[in-house]
Amino acid sequence: SALFKELEKRVEPSTPQPNAPHIIDGNFLLHLLSSNKATTYGKLARMILIHAISSSNCRVDLIFDRYSEPSIKDSERDRRGVHEQEYVISGTEQRCPKNLQEALKSTSFKINLSLFLVNEWKHQEYAEILRNCDLFVGVEDNCYHFFVEDNVMMREDIHRLRSNHNEADTRVCLHMKDVNSNSDSIVIRAFDTDIAIILLYHCLKFTAKIWMDVGVSSKNTRRYICITDIAQTLGPQLCASLPAFHAYSGCDYTSAFVRKGKVRPLHLLEKDIKIQEAFSQLADKKE
């Protein structure tokens, strides 16, 4: 978005430490996958795991959205005329949809696929892929830790990372807090203005440096953006006001002002401390 690009301009390009822990938006990862490389759900599960841990061999957190009904987004789906197809995943040999991107429009598919993955990955055959990496997967209210111990694939429930948040965007912060004490850098693999704004609001509370890994290699747009550097440039007061500003000027749940955009309002916000204070107070109440 224009707001994201404007914020990105505030800092020089740089890269995080090699092999830093990665926190990945699960739905973003699924949309990166090609639709014709996996013919069965077993092959799809293997492909997703390989793709997920390719970012780091120390720790990867993969977080999926949680879906509840009724949802505030139902009216938007109805407006778009989205047809909800039901999916049932019965096993590894079942053929998966040829068009993965089309299937991802279905809430049923996204729910059942994430549940299938956390039950499939506990099997021993995946130990050779995971090896020394610790994989934490947030699905529905739960979080599961996958790891290999004495060449045996293990899975355990992690109660401290349980969450009832619907959006992976906000659940990311819980995982950041869990990673923070053991790492100097944390990389968030996502490409969403919402999550960038949330990270800017929280990142100065962490000792680790926060990065976003955005874009895709196939389009030559993949790059790292240091969120901590942006936050230090903007200052704590402005960062605290950004969530309310983003919601007020248009986001997933509120309509934007016609032909106003976000860049000029951002410039006005930067010049007015009183508006920053008002917006930051709204964000604090929401938190």
The CA dihedral of 204, 55, 134, 64, to the nearest 10 degrees, is 70
Distances in Å between the Cα of 82 and the Cα atoms of 48, 74, 85, 115 are 26, 10, 9, 23
Q: Is the dihedral of CA 92, 59, 178, 124 positive or negative?
A: positive
Dist. CA 196–CA 179, nearest whole Å: 18
- Which segments of the chain have a pLDDT < 50? none
The pLDDT value given to residue 143: 98
147-193 residue pLDDT tens: 999 999 999 999 999 999 999 999 999 999 999 988 999 999 998 89
Q: Nearest-CA neighbor of 61 among 178, 163, 207?
A: 178
The pLDDT value given to residue 254: 74
If DSSP codes are grouped into helix, strand and coil, which group holds residue 147? strand
CB 134, CB 60: distance < 8 Å: yes
The pLDDT value given to residue 72: 56
Dist. CA 5–CA 3, nearest whole Å: 5
